[in-house]
Structure formats: structure tokens, C-alpha cells
Amino acid sequence: MLSSKEIRRGFIEFFTARAHAFVPSSPVVPQGDETLLFANAGMNQFKDIFLGLKPAEWPRAVNSQKCLRVSGKHNDLEEVGKDTYHHTFFEMLGNWSFNDYFKAESIAWAWELLTKVWGINPDQLWATVFGGDDKDGLPQDTEAAGLWTKLTPIPAERVLAFGKKENFWEMGETGPCGPCSEIHIDLGPDRCDKKGVPGHQCRVNGDCARYIELWNLVFIQFNRQPSGNLVPLSARYIDTGAGLERVVSVLQNKRSNYDTDLFMPIIEATSKMSGHKYTSELGNKTDNAFRVIADHIRAVTFAVTDGATPSNEGRGYVIRRILRRASRFGRELDLHEPFLYKLVPVVVDCLGEAFPEVRDRAEHVATVIQAEEVSFGRTLDRGLELFAAAAKRAGKTPTKTLSGEDAFQLYDTYGFPVDLTQLMAQERGLFVDIERFLELMQEQKERARAAQKTDTLLAGLADSDLPATDDAPKYRTDHCEAVILGWIDAAGFHKQGEIPAGIEIGLVLDQTCFYAEAGGQVGDTGVIETRGMGVSPMRYRVEGVPPSNRGQDARDTQGQDALATKTHGQDAHATHGRDARATFGVEATTKVGNTVIHRGKLAEGALRVGQKVSAIVSLDRNATKKNHTATHLLQWALQQVLGKTAQQQGSYVAPDYLRFDYTYPKAPTEEELKEVERLVRKKIGDDLPVTWAVLPREEAQKLGAMALFGEKYGSEVRVVCLGAADQDHIGEAFSREFCGGTHVDRLGVIGGFKILKDESISAGVRRITALTGQGLTAHLERGSEIAEQLAALLQVPADKLPERIAQLVEDNKRLVKQLKTAAKTGGPDTMTEARQLLDASEKIGESAVIVGRLSTTSIDRAREAIDMLKKKAKSAAIVLAYEEDGKVMLLSGVTDDLIKTLKAGDIVKTIAPIVDGGGGGKPQMAQAGGKNPAKIDEALKEAANLIKQKLA
């Protein structure tokens, strides 16, 4: 029996033997494509090739692509666990032709691999083809149908035509698409899981497990535009996809994908942890839980590996949904403590050979998953109690519907994704009012949708045949001559005519010295002007064409006069008063395929396609170069101090500051950060050279060059080397990184380095913000000015400020304590506030609901207030809260007549987690503490709702 590793390897070797280049899988978190939440097909990384935005590096390709289908058109989340073959994460084996071979070869090779190499019985195989679509004006694919009977022994009666839903493949709402031909396998009558269902008939594209799709051959010929229209592409492409999990199941003769060696190690590990046995049955809640957990831990492991982080919006929300769904299914196996993170090493054992990145980042992934499990665990059990109460109410309604308000409260307060609420409701025969939930979720949904919005300026570029830009000058100069090749607006690329004025467009040149935004470095700004007639860079910086958004102040601008003249060889006095014939202000620089797009507006004069111009980069470029080289120094220093666990997760390099995200499970100590700063400054002080070389990717990796995970790299890569004199000595460099950014020539140019802050941005990921060069100088000047002002105000020398301020802080603490003591012992304020709460309280029947916040008081005084309220109200449920020294105190009291319905201890146990606390007590009186005063009002609101529900 072939293992999954052998099957994956065999597929790739079959096609590499037929002149296909092996292309590694792209990350499941797409880079630079906001139209996709996750990679959901093998062709995603080739999208720009299909759209004609960049040329293919190879005429043929093959790989095994990591895919995640959990949102939008392709969403298999709800089906996972219920059957034997649906998954969120899966591998798509695929081969591609980029305007090389087409239908005949793809059909013949698929048949050869399945039947001759893997030995599948030809009599079990069926083929389907596109049957046409009147709405899109597309005829039936008779060509593909004829090729099946001509090139293979399959009879015509086993070649079936189906409609658009089954046999027209589209990546999403827009993008490349085309008719497809699928290969299905008949696994035999005993595999039908719908026996006895009235009206059921086993058939291809039916609804049972007897016939399953093995391989989809997509003939990409069209581009679906935002309007819904289909536009023919300029070239024809082949994109095939065979789900590895299904292929392995067939070749290993398993009844379920989950019974293969891709899943069983995970299921066995889960069984060992839980003590429950997996029996591979359908409709069994325990077995369903095993399947869901095995699937979901693979999805979360790869998503976090590739850069996703659980959050409440966009991709992060999807990952949180999957993780929390798996955590909830763990309850079915009596797994109440965090357990998913313990399965990460098992996933690594199964898939780490094919995808080494998951092995390299396993510790980080486990840290993120464990933190999310712990967070959800704090509220899951209480959330399940609230769900039970809501479900009980829903069961009494005529429509058996759980309200949208209850679903939203479970999401908003307890972190329950709505599909988890739906799942639990379905198990009880209930529905959920999704429409009302969506109304309450509108704000969050809008944020998630915003993350997927397309760039309107680039919307019309599909199949535009954009010219390539030579941007090599960006590494040598910030001033070059060029020719205008055209411009881009929402209608597409224009190759002739006059450039429109006053509106944002994208200008395309034959060559440029502008750096296009990539790798965390911001795109350059500047001007493109008529050759020999432009204003000086100094004027650009001062007058703001375009207006600067880089946060540079006037002093910084003025300080650049000499540098502007020196760098560009222009006389500022001679050019300042000269009117430019034409000036295009570049506000941002981006790249599509191999085309650099200078985004901005024609500010004055006129420009035409074919005209010669001067491209002049803003002086901000110099500061950006310093910050970019500093990020390389910072990564090197972090790994020297913290170890290889500290890996770059992302960065932002701008003229005024740098930001560096890295993986590390805990906060570095102050001493560790100081050592990082010392190492960086030492290298800057040594003024070592910086060089770069273009190398084959494999050679660069052998040299130990670090790559930013998730970035796309070609067969050749640019390696930036710190400490190497030239390309012949890059082995001597102390830092080598894949990088296409701009850098200083020597480290001494950076001028200085200061970490402003280190903070956690998510579980296992931290962020350093730092300054160099003029940004650092300005920061130090501001600090010096503040110190001088404080010294004058406090009338002490500057070097005595720390101890003087420390004394003032201690004096302030002592005075605050004295004031609190006076308030606690003296006054009737607490009682007055309590009586005011009683007067404003709502009544349920004869019982008062007294819930409110007190000014700072003491615990004894608050207890006295509750006793007073009980006596005055006769029948009451009371919750009081106050803040003391940044902490929360919660107290609850219930009169004796109500304790059969409501207990004070239950109230504080329910609301204390909201303020990150806990507590308890007797039915008549209870108290709790918390750490989050910002959530006091939320806790009180929850208390009032709980009391009203119980009393009602």
C-alpha cells in the first residue's frame, strides 16, 4: 500500500518527467491578493499569469498546494465531520499549462497516471464535461467529450454533461475561470451512505459516497469581471486539481479519508488524550468530534504557520471560528482543558516533510493555539450554560428559533462564532435568527468585507498586457530619465494619448528608480517631470508636490537643502523660481506583475505617452534606506540574544520609523532589549560595508540566507549581506537575507538606533518600534527639551530628575491613600449612592433589581450598603461594583425570598470573568475581584440581564 508521502511524491515526479517545473506551494494566507481570504485552489499563486499581468516563468508546472476552504463560494466548514470526505484544509495536487498544451494532453496524462501508474480499475472511472450555459452564452464542451472517447478506452455512456454548477470552475466572484472536465470514481454499491432514503439514486454528482470526484481538469479561457460578464483571455491555460486526501483514500482502499495515514495519527493521539475510541462510524457524535478535531487542527496549524492570527475580523476571525469549533467538539470527548496545541507535533510528523515551514514554526503555532484555547476556555463553560437557557426559551416558541440577540450575546460576550451556535441549536432541533444576528453584527461584517475590497484603480487591468518596467535603477540612484509608456485608470491600461489631469492615475514608464511597495518597505514618493524643466527635489520636499504624509517636520525639511543639492547636482537657487512645464506628483508606488505603477496626479502642465521625463525620488528615500537596513540588524541581534525562535513575522519600513514583528513566546526582559540595542549600535559604529548579490535560490539557502516566510521568491533571489565588502566575500557577512529593498552602502550611515517599545500584538507575536537617523535625532531633541522643561519646573538639575519624580510619585500615592481612607471612614457618600440606585431601580413584580456602580469605597462599607438596600427594598437582587487601585470589586446580595430562584454566588461567578476575575459566596451575599475596570459596565449589564431573566 502506498503511503500518502509516496503518492504525493509520485504525482510530482510523473509530471516533472513530462517537462513540468516543480513550484512549491504558496502560503494558505495569500500575499498581496486582498480578493482572497485564503488560498482555496492550486491556481491562486498563478492568478497574475492567467490574467496576463505577468509572464510565466515556466510553460508547465506541478505542485501540491496547501488550500483552505472556509468562506465565500468555497466553504466546506459545516460539512466537516458529518461525512468521510469534506475538509477545511486539504492539499490540491495540480499540473498547469501556461498557453502550452491544452485539453488533449491534460486528459491523456490524467488517465495514464490514474490507471497505469496508480493502477485504478478503468471500469470504475467516469468523466463529466460542461453542458453549456444560456445565461453566459456558452455552448456545450463537445471537444472535451470527444477527446475522452478518442484518447481513453472510456465508453461514451460514461462521459456525462452537466451544467455550470458542476462543470464550470470559478475561483471566486471575479477572476480567471473556464469549463472543466471531472473524473469520478464508482466505489461500489456498498459505499452508498443513503440506502433506504426514499427517492435516492446512486449516480455521478449525486448525494452519496458511492461516486466521488477524484480529479478536476479546468480549461481556463475566461475572466469573470465585476459586472458578471465573461471576457476571453488572450491565452489558454490548463489548471488541474486532484485532492490528495481523496486520492490517498482510494489508493489505500479506505472507506473514509479520515482512515488514511493523513489523519489517523492525529485521531489516535486525540483518542489517547481523551480515553475515547474512534470507530469510523457516521452519525456518531463521538466519531464526528474526532473527525472535526483532526481536520481543524490541520487547518489552524497551517494557517498560523503561514501568518494568520486569531482575531475578531477578516482572516483572523475565520481561524478563531475553526479553532473554537474544534475546542467545543473536544467537550464531546471530555476534553475540557486546552488540548489542541498538543496535536501540533503530530501534524508536523504527518506533513512536515512536504512542508518544512510547519516544522520550523511549530513552537510558535503551539503557543498561539494554546493561548487561544485558554482564552476561550475562560468563558466556554459559562457560555454553554447561557446557550442552554436560551435554547430552553427558544424551544417554547412556535418557530423553535433562538433569538438573534442571544446569538449575538454568545458571540460578543463569550466568543461563540455564530456557526457554533447554529451547530448546537441544530443538535437540539432549533433554528437561529440569523437575519437579526447579522443586523447586530453589521459593523464587524463591514470591517471583514473591507479587508477584501479590490483596488478600483487596478480593477480594469485583467488581460491588459502590461509592459514590464526596468526598475534596476532603484538600487543605484534616486534620479533617472525615462519614457512614458502609458497610464492606468479604472478602465484599464492606455497606450496612447494625453495623461488626464487632476485625477488619480497610475503612470507607467519604461524604466524607473522608484521603489514599489513590497516586503514591508513603503513605496517611494516623488515627482515625474518633463525632462530638463522640473523643479528641484528641495522644492518638492518643501512645497509638498504631492503633500507629504511621512510625518516630517519643517526642521527636517530645511536640513535637507544641502543634501538635495549634493545628491542631484542641481542649483536650488537657479531652479526654485523656474516654472515646470509638467509635473506629476507620485503619491505611492506599487507593482502589478513586472509593471511598476507610479500612482498620483498630474499637478501642472501636460504629459503624453511617448514623452521623455525625469523621475526624481523624494529625499525620504534616504531615511527609508537607513530604517530598512536597521531591520536586518535588528533581526540579527534578536536571534543573537533570544535565539532562532525569534523569527520575522512582518515589518513596516517608512522614512520616519521602523516596525518589526517577530515570533517569541514571552516578553523579552529589559536587559535583553538593551543587549539587542547594544549589538545593533556596535555594528553601526563599526561602519561595516553592505552589499548584495543575485543568486539561485538554492545556493542562497545553502549560504544560510534568511527568507521572510510567506513572501514569493523566484528561481533567483537578491540577497542583502551585512558585513561583506563585495559579492566575492558574501560568505563573510554576519547577516544574509533575501530582500528586494533599498539599503545603505555602509552601516555607519544609519547613525544610531533606539527601541521605542516592544509589545505583544497577538499570542506568540511581538512588535518592536524603533528609530534611526534623523527620526532618532528629532526624538532625542524632543526628549532633551522635555527634560529641560521639567528641570526648570521642579528646580533640580536634569540628572536629578529621576529621583525627584520618584519622590513626587510616592508623595502622590500617600496623599491618594489618605483621601481614600477619609472617604471610607467618613462619609455617607456610599449610602447616598446606594439609596439613589434603589430609587432608580426597576421592579420585576414586587422585587427590585438594584444594579449599579459606586464611587471608591471600602468592602465593609459596600457590604453595609447591600444590607441597607435589602432592608429598605424588602425583596431585591443587588449587584454593586467599584474600582480600587486599578482593580475591580463586585458584590451581590439577594433577599431570602428570592434565593430559590437566584443566588448571589451564582451572579458573581457569572459576571466576574467579564472583568478578568473570579469569586463566590453564599446565596444571600457574595463578592468577587477582577483585573479589568474597563469592563465594569459590561459586567453590570450582564448582571441586570441575568437577574431579569431569572425573576421573569
Tell me what pLDDT residue 457 has.
74
Q: What is d(CA 581, CA 377) in angstroms, rounded to the nearest whole number? A: 66
Residue 240 clears pLDDT 90, i.e. is over it:
yes
What does the pLDDT read at residue 706?
Answer: 77
pLDDT at 41: 81
DSSP 501: S
Residue 823 has pLDDT above 90, yes or no: no
712-720 long-range contacts, Cβ below 8 Å, gap at least 24?
A: 712/26, 712/31, 712/32, 712/45, 713/738, 714/57, 715/57, 718/692, 718/693, 718/694, 719/692, 719/693, 719/694, 719/695, 720/629, 720/632, 720/690, 720/691, 720/692
pLDDT band at 561, cuts 50/70/90?
very low
Between CA 143 and CA 161 the distance in angstroms is: 12
CA distances to 239, 271, 461, 693 from 53, rounded to whole Å, are 17, 49, 8, 27
- pTM of the model as a whole: 0.64
Q: Which of 517, 536, 538 is nearest to 653 (CA)?
A: 517
Identify the pLDDT of residue 821: 65
Closest CA relative to residue 653, chosen from 670, 683, 669, 633:
633
Cα(261)–Cα(354) distance, integer angstroms: 14
Burial class from Cβ neighbours inside 10 Å (0-12, 13-18, 19+) for residue 949 reads middle
Nearest to 65 by CA among 220, 213, 223, 171: 171
All cell numbers assigned to 833: 449612592
Q: Where are the alpha helices (DSSP H) in 397-468?
A: 404-414, 418-427, 434-440, 442-450
Q: For residue 567, what pLDDT is reported?
A: 35
Spatial distance between the Cα atoms of 93 and 104, rounded to a whole number of angstroms: 19
pLDDT of 785 reads: 92
Total residues found in the chain within this entry: 952
Give, in order, the Cα–Cα distances in Å from 943 to each of 371, 392, 414, 478, 856: 27, 20, 14, 63, 20
Highest mean pLDDT among 126-140, 307-321, 491-505: 126-140
**Which residue from 615, 267, 289, 332 is spatially nearest to 470, judged by alpha carbons?**
615
The cell for 541 is 520636499
Nearest to 202 by CA among 186, 184, 181, 182: 186
> At which residue does the C-alpha cell 455564530 appear?
418
In the structure, how many helices (H) and strands (E) does the chain have? 29, 33
pLDDT of residue 859: 86
pLDDT confidence bin for 534, thresholds 50/70/90: very low
Higher confidence at residue 818 or residue 437?
A: 437
Pair 331, 317: CB distance under 8 Å: no
Span 394-408, pLDDT tens digits: 888 888 899 888 888
Question: Quick one: DSSP state of residue 118?
Answer: S
Q: What is the pLDDT of residue 813?
A: 87
pLDDT of residue 699: 83
Residue with the larger pLDDT of the pair 466 and 611 = 611
Secondary structure element (H or E) that encloses residue 681, with its range: helix 670-686
Give the per-residue pLDDT at 788.
Answer: 92
pLDDT tens across 537-551, in order? 433 443 333 333 333
- Residue range 764-799, pLDDT digits in tens: 889 999 999 989 999 999 999 999 999 999 999 998
Query: β-pairing, 716-722 with 735-738?
Result: antiparallel
- Rounded CA gap, 591 and 601, in Å? 17
CB of 641 within 8 A of CB of 676? yes
| Residue 518 DSSP one-character state | B
Query: Is the pLDDT assigned to residue 16 strictly greater than 50?
Result: yes
Type of residue found at 68: L
| pLDDT averaged over every residue in the chain | 86
Residues 6 or more apart whose Cβ sits within 8 Å of residue 797: 791
Please compute the mean of the pLDDT values over residues 159-188 and round it to a whole number.
90
Question: Percentage of the chain with pLDDT > 90?
Answer: 56
Q: How far apart are CA 780 and CA 318, in angstroms?
A: 43
936 near 914, Cβ under 8 Å?
A: no
pLDDT (tens digit per residue) in 310-364: 887 778 888 988 998 899 899 889 998 999 999 999 999 999 999 999 998 999 9
The answer to whether 688 and 806 are in contact (CB under 8 A) is no
Q: What pLDDT band is residue 946 in, cutting at 50, 70 and 90?
A: very high
DSSP states of 149-193 as a string?
HHHSS--GGGEEEE-HHHHEEESSSSEEEEEEEEEEEE--GGG-S
- pLDDT tens track for 70-99: 765 555 677 787 888 789 999 999 999 999
What mean pLDDT is predicted for residues 737-754? 94
Residue with cell 483621601: 819
| Segment 199-222 mean pLDDT | 91
Band of the pLDDT at 611, cuts 50, 70, 90?
A: very high
Close Cβ partners of 669 (under 8 Å, ≥ 6 residues apart): none
With residues binned 3-state (H G I as helix, E B as strand, rest as coil), the percentages for the chain, rounded to 5, are: 45, 25, 35
Q: Is the pLDDT of residue 583 over 80?
A: yes
Find all residues with CB under 8 Å of 607, minimum gap 6, and list them: 484, 498, 499, 528, 530, 582, 584, 613
Q: What percent of the chain has pLDDT over 70?
A: 89
DSSP 822-836: HHHHH-SHHHHHHHH
Distance from C-alpha of 421 to C-alpha of 432, rounded to nearest angstrom: 8
Confidence of residue 909 (pLDDT cuts 50, 70, 90): very high
